[in-house]
Amino acid sequence: MRAAFYDEQGAAREVLGVSDLPDPQPGAGEVRVRVVASGINPSDIKTRTGFGGKAKPFARIVPHQDGAGVIDAVGPGVPDTRIGERVWIYMAQWGRAFGTAAEFVVVPSAQAVRLADNVSFEIGASLGVPAMTAHRCLFADGDLRGKRVLVQGGAGAVGNAAILLAKWAGAWVAATVSRDEQAEVARAAGADLVLNRHEEDVSHAIRSATGGHGVDRIVDVDIAANINVAVACLARDGVVSVYSTETPEAKLIIPFFPALLGGFSFRFVYVYTMPEAAMRQATQEISACAASGAYVPRIAKTYALDAVVDAHEFQESGKAVGKVLVRLQNA
Ligand SMILES: NC(=O)c1ccc[n+]([C@@H]2O[C@H](COP(=O)([O-])OP(=O)(O)OC[C@H]3O[C@@H](n4cnc5c(N)ncnc54)[C@H](OP(=O)(O)O)[C@@H]3O)[C@@H](O)[C@H]2O)c1
């Protein structure tokens, strides 16, 4: 099979290449997927560059956790009826060397989730890490119908997923962005209120839009930077779900009394170690949301496999608004 891979950590242009590798074979409980589209996430870049001192976990790595395609072979214990099934894939390269930047990938059967016929492979390859993370941030503390949510960074991949899933679940959603192009993306996802975090007083705007109530849930991309906004616009007993900060050394300083008096909770979300039951619930609800037609994320650009270096460079440039994908084959 054709695959992208690297044997050393470093800059994409120096370490990432495309070549022929042996076709992988599914073992017990596994399926092999003929990949149509592969989704890139910041964590794929972080693994390649050794962000935060992270050592390379395998000698040779085929990158990318997310993807979509068609099951073409199954291992012992997986019913043959899965062959031919359209699927979306999550965490393909978690604890494994070979991810989705290849014509074929082998994953545990549960990590290849049925993709409804009306959902494109591009959308399927955009689900994985962003939708699973957003789902955990939004729903770990209960249903959202009639609740109010603030998404910090609503044009980011996870932020955009959070808007889409929260709207699908019946919440009122505010989102912050940092430029007009991002505002369009947040609005297209269904945000009821879009705020430019560099130009507007976010907590004041949230308080006035909610009649002084504040938001019940915050999904935050950089809580170390946004803690004062969080504390100022959370409703009583509100929850801040946190999934990222700008640097690995960041420290979170919480203003004690406002947090105490508000009864606030802080939830830290790491998608890769979500409880099994939460993963199952997330895959079911994300699939249902996508099948309903409500999950339409912005796709920034799709590259051919041979241009995977350009795709990685675009992902890490900070200029991509939306998902960066690699197309493996036409289906
Ligand atoms: N914990 C987990 O399991 C998990 C899962 C997925 C991703 N992550 C991490 O989460 C981060 C974002 O991932 P992603 O795929 O969504 O990346 P992305 O598509 O690049 O989106 C990040 C967004 O956050 C915005 N942003 C940056 N600083 C902000 C701030 N202080 N307040 C509000 N918005 C801000 C950015 O816009 P501007 O910079 O233009 O403002 C951008 O739109 C990455 O570091 C990733 O590794 C963690």
330 — phi, psi (to 5°)?
A: -85, 140
Cα 97 from Cα 93, distance rounded (Å) = 6
**Do both 104 and 33 map to the same domain?**
yes
**What pLDDT was estimated at residue 156?**
96
Give, using CA atoms, the residue closest to atom 21 of ligand 1. Answer: 156
**Do both 94 and 166 map to the same domain?**
no
Cα(246) to ligand 1 centroid in Å equals 8
Mutate to test the pocket of ligand 1, among 221, 229, 241 (most ligand atoms within 8 A of CB): 221
Taking 80 as the threshold, does the pLDDT of residue 225 lie above it?
A: yes
Tell if the pTM clears 0.75, that is, is over it: yes
pLDDT digits 0-9 by tens, 139-179: 999 999 999 999 999 999 999 999 999 999 999 999 999 99
**Do both 243 and 318 map to the same domain?**
no
Average pLDDT in the chain: 97
User: Is 282 part of a structural domain of the chain?
Assistant: no
**What pLDDT was estimated at residue 53?**
86
**Do both 319 and 260 map to the same domain?**
no
**Do both 50 and 161 map to the same domain?**
no
Taking 90 as the threshold, does the pLDDT of residue 218 lie above it?
A: yes
The domain in which residue 238 lies consists of: 130-272
Report how many domains make up the chain: 2
Cα angle for residues 180, 181, 187 (degrees, 5° grid): 85
Q: Which of 256, 272, 288 is the last residue of a domain?
A: 272
**Do both 162 and 89 map to the same domain?**
no
